[in-house]
Amino acid sequence: KKAVFMGFFFMIGATAVMWICLQFIPHASDFAQSSLETIFAIMPRIALGSLAAYLVSQLHDVWAFAFWKRIFSKPHQLWIRNNLSTMVSQLIDSIIFCTVALLGLYEMNVWFQILLTTYILKLIVAALDTPFVYIARKIYFKYYKDKDKTAVI
């Protein structure tokens, strides 16, 4: 949970820095300012959607991983815990972000397509990260073997 809140506050800081950068008067030769202003015109909605989605989905992911660990507790079942918690958490993330950041800016069918495609991409990434989760666990046990091996993963 501590890492979730740290990430949340770092995202707030990055959003604030970007907003501050856009407040500067650009040099006459700056060709990117108008593009940046266009991109970041909806920044408050994107930032709020992003922060809300991150906080809720990551807290859910931590809870869900612990929940699934009680059911799938064997070491070789790590992939099940990881993917089940991530699948639901990323659905929550996608729904919150797309609703706060994009609902009303696009027609419903376009909004739904954005929601669906981003969720599918997140599922693909979740499946692809499974070997790296096992590598991380192996490294953790190698360097922290004196700790309780069931406590974290």
Distance, C-alpha 27 to centroid of its chain = 35
| CA distances, 37 to each of 32, 126, 132 (Å) | 9, 33, 38
**What's this model's pTM, rounded to 2 decimal places?**
0.73
Give 96-109 pLDDT, tens digit per residue: 999 999 999 999 99
Distance CA 62, CA 29 (A): 48
20: amino acid identity, one letter: I
pLDDT for res 138: 86
**10 Å Cβ neighbour count for 16?**
11
151: pLDDT strictly greater than 60: no
pLDDT tens readout for residues 9-38: 887 888 788 888 888 888 889 888 888 888
Query: Across all residues in the chain, what is the average pLDDT?
Result: 88
